[in-house]
Structure 1
Amino acid sequence: MHSTNVRNPVIPGYYPDPSVVRVNDDYYLINSSFEYFPGVPIFHSKDLIHWTQIGHVLTRQSQVDLRTSGSSDGIYAATIRHHAGRFYMITTDVRGIGNFFVTADKPEGPWSEPVLLPYGGIDPSLFFDEVGRAYVTVQNGAGYESHIIQYGIDPVSGEVLSEPVEIWRGDEGPWVEGPHLYKIKGVYYLMTASGGTARDHREIIARSSNPYGPFEDKPEPILTHRGLKEHPVQCLGHADLVEDMSGNWWAVFLGMRPVDGKYSPLGRETFLAPVTWTEEGWPVIDNNEGTVVSAEDAGPDDRVQRLELGGSFGPEWAFLRSYEEERYSWTEQEGKLAIRGNAYTLDDEAPAVFACIRQKHHRMETGVNLDFDPAKDGEYAGLAARLNNRGYIFWGLAGREGRRVIELTVKDGDHKQVYHYAAGSSGEVRLRLGSDGEVYTCSYSEDGVSWQEAEQQVHVSVLSPEVNGGFTGVCLGLHASGEGMDAAAPGYFAEFYYTNTKGDVL
């Protein structure tokens, strides 16, 4: 299986900070989720290349409460491990409960309540030695003062068994983070990211005969494209290693595919590459060789994803900070999902009503049929493409000055513009929101035959972290709001779809 013929990214869209574990011939992978709930998506694979989401790790508010989390706060990089028949997931709830771990008998859950940990900054990892001792390896400090500390815990109770000690400072770059400790052929390897998760991002490694060091540094990164400024895949780093059934080693890691080398609306995605070993015993992935490449707009095997909105949300769906079950009804109209907005909007760092999936392709289209009769001015419902509270597009129906209108809202940093198009006073409207990789466009139809395009096009920079910040990528989905109060009328959504419009049969 050790081939470089990988169709990257193996998990496209905003799925950053991957961590992977093998249990027999099954692989399980998790990602950061920040302010989206449920937290920590989990995937399954048999070959490391084809992944299927089987759920989330943090599915209950008792495990993680994100209702007051800001954009790109919440759940940061997590690590998944398996020991003595049990799965472990360890992570950080930034500006929440801090570092903690949960456990489960099966990767699809249910996962336990959180066991809190007292030490470290972000990105904790777990390592189990041959006799079952558990080590927490975690980033500490900030910026150029970032370093790695480590301490021992009881893997059942979480009781701290040894005080934390500093074990490594990396390559003197900022943000030495995302640490993982491995024991391979009798040698302890400590691997971290460095340089911050942007164009200078890199993965570095050191080794020792002791889990607490002292560590011998590998002079050069084992993974980076920081010297390849024109390469279509950038920001490589934050890796995790796994050995396959044949004894070959692989790395999963994040990367970005900027449009025109500038803007990355898809955010940080999950990539895969083989690991080779030097004669000196160092692992190497891609140190500015450019061997990590992408199949443009790679993605799921099915070119069109459809959700008949008449049953339940699948595992690919997430919600902004909270899932308020009472806001969603599958039973009011057959084949339709009724969504009732709350007082919050996408401007607010609050649990606005937004059910979404990740944008996975630069060239894509999403659409839905919407029947919405606003009960009062200020209510609206429709499609949204959201990066964060500083960058989003809303396209739907709204009540304004006593009339029902088609509304387009574009939020770009400190600037917000709202446009209106005439709409009939009642009846279903079909909405489309798409991107050609350069701009987002919106259109609507009231009869399902003739379509009207919104005059305003939105450049991808508006929904890109390079312009409007944060650690996420664009999420697409269904949004409703009462704009300051609960909406009195529900929006009825049907025939939601998402498709890659490049035309490839993937």
Structure 2
Amino acid sequence: MYQNPILYADYSDPDVIRVGEDYYMVASSFAYLPGVPLLHSRDLVHWEIINYCVRSLPFKKYDRPSHGSGTWAPSIRVHEGIFYVFIPLPDEGIFVATSTDPYGEFKLHCLHEVKGWIDPCPFWDEDGRAYMVFAYANSRCGIKHRLDLVEIDPQCTKVLSEPITIFDGEQLGPTTEGPKLYQYQGYYYILMPSGGVATGWQSVLRSKSVKGPYEYRIVMHQGNTDVNGPHQGGWVTAVDGKHWFLHFQDVHELGRITHLQPMCFNNGWPFIGTEQNGDGIGEPVREWRLPKVGEPEYQIATSDDFAGERLGLQWQWQANPKDFFYSVKGHKGLRLSCLSNETRDNLLWYAPNALTQIPQHQAFSMTAKVRLQGHKKGDMAAIGMIGHKYAYLGMEKTESGQALNLYTGTVTEKNFEGKAVETLSVSLPYEGDTVTLRLEVYYSKMYRFAWSADGIRYNFLGESQPLTRASWTGAKLCLWSANKLNCLSEGYGEYEFIHIEDRSNGEAGV
């Protein structure tokens, strides 16, 4: 048996395919880069990160944080031996990443330059023609309830037709988005979420023609379960012919976590989950039989001793990656340069060189051994949590020596470069250049910092902080080195290790 959620982590807007006996999943990552993580599984339950489909975005605005922008809900397909990942950038257009090897390099190109098109999904029909179904971003073009279809060339390099509307859900399915197009037993099916991220439901369109007309049906909703807004995901058929549906649930502070539902067909319509309240619509399952037993129980890496020649796949920057942000070669641990910010005050919300990680548990601790090699006053090496209310604790070089400084921040403008204010909440003089810092996240959706001079005895510093989401993502763990006075410096923070411990079976405590 497996239990939902299969991933208590913010891999939002998932899509999934099977190639042979291997499953591949992609998810949105917005302005965190490298972007569009590619995950692999052999049983649909246990996953590992194997790659990213986007190394960086080819626009100067992504050299700085552009919160809530970037790579939105992607889709993944394989056609004639090529992996195609369709990626919407709501401000720039529809992009496609391609590779013949899911572990290799993906090449990114623009399919169509346009603002407001989102959630694209390709489809190759039996007659050799190719199509793309997509939705619209209300924040960009004022539309949020319509699905359109365009013909594209089979190599996915250009759009060949004007969009035609195949579903207008202004009354039936407000906030319809995330369409995925399939063909099965003589019907074209479009699986789509409706009703909004937090409170919506899963719908299906069905037609004998790819261009419609389509019939509409709701096939999964919350019902009497505690899984709110169960929708937006992908349908995959296993080797044994059984159908599965992978989708998210919005848990707000930690983002959109991943569930796996059994799926079957009833009178030509998909049925997802199980019937629990007699209304004829499926509800999410809490547990179910494993799709396949005896397969590797992959896990997504969290802890890191930075022993390799490059960063682990669990890490993403808050903007386009730059080589001068860090180094892991020729020394012990990870070195993050104490950079200044060229355009703004040096706040965490504005920092392209903030190194982030998606939390993988509901309650956990992160411990880091940190050494500050400060060259100028204001040099700092810190750990923290990014959200619309955020905090970080670091060792900082001051006029009188080293100090452990706890900063708290509040985001006042949440999208694009945005705006934030920060306050130095606590400052504690500290002797030496090395400290072990800890951040503990509790079931209460609060977190707190602690420090230790010897790595054994810990002391709390400051008050508990509220866990909050970031722009279109859950809260993010981060490592950050910077010069807080915005001076050019050759200083750096050295992180010997990061150890993350799952505390989901009991409250974290010092």
- Tell me: CA distance 1:72–1:487, structure 2 relative to 1, closer, same or farther (3 Å): farther
- Secondary structure (helix, strand or coil) at the match of 1:409 reads strand
Tell me which residue corresponds to 2:41: 45
Answering whether residue 27 of structure 2 is matched by residue 31 of structure 1, we say yes
Q: Distance in 2 between matches of 1:427 and 1:380?
A: 11
Measure how far apart 1:68 and its partner are: 4.2
Measure how far apart 1:471 and its partner are: 1.3
Which structure 1 residue ranges, 5 or more long, are not aligned?
258-263
TM-score when normalising by structure 2: 0.86
Measure how far apart 1:33 and its partner are: 0.4
Q: How many residues align?
A: 474
Q: Distance in 1 between matches of 2:340 and 2:377?
A: 13
Residue type at the aligned position of 1:426? G
- Secondary structure (helix, strand or coil) at the match of 1:306 reads coil
Answering whether residue 246 of structure 2 is matched by residue 245 of structure 1, we say no
Deviations 1:87-118 (A, max 9, x none): 100011232x3211121101123112313314
- Tell me: CA distance 1:32–1:398, structure 2 relative to 1, closer, same or farther (3 Å): same
8 Å Cα contact 2:30/2:71 also seen in 1: yes
Q: For the aligned residues, what is the CA RMSD? A: 2.6
Matches within 5 A, 1:106-505: 106-118=101-113, 121-140=117-136, 142=138, 145-156=144-155, 158-170=157-169, 172-198=172-198, 200-218=199-217, 221-225=218-222, 227-228=223-224, 231-257=225-251, 264-285=252-273, 290-293=283-286, 305-311=302-308, 312-331=310-329, 334-344=331-341, 347=347, 350-387=350-387, 390-414=388-412, 416-438=422-444, 439-460=446-467, 463-464=468-469, 470-483=471-484, 484-503=486-505
8 Å Cα contact 1:305/1:498 also seen in 2: yes
8 Å Cα contact 2:348/2:354 also seen in 1: no
Q: Distance in 2 between matches of 1:126 and 1:419?
A: 50
Q: Distance in 1 between matches of 2:270 and 2:244?
A: 14
Q: Distance in 1 between matches of 2:489 and 2:226?
A: 44
Q: Distance in 2 between matches of 1:379 and 1:94?
A: 37
Measure how far apart 1:398 and its partner are: 1.5
- Secondary structure (helix, strand or coil) at the match of 1:380 reads strand
Q: Distance in 2 between matches of 1:475 and 1:30?
A: 19
Measure how far apart 1:65 and its partner are: 6.7
- Secondary structure (helix, strand or coil) at the match of 1:204 reads strand
Measure how far apart 1:419 and its partner are: 2.4
Measure how far apart 1:402 and its partner are: 3.8
Q: Distance in 2 between matches of 1:475 and 1:458?
A: 14
Deviations 1:228-266 (A, max 9, x none): 4xx443232112111111111111111134xxxxxx321
Deviations 1:170-213 (A, max 9, x none): 35343211011111101011221112212x22211111110010
Answering whether residue 11 of structure 2 is matched by residue 15 of structure 1, we say yes
Which structure 2 residue ranges, 5 or more long, are not aligned?
276-280, 289-296, 413-420
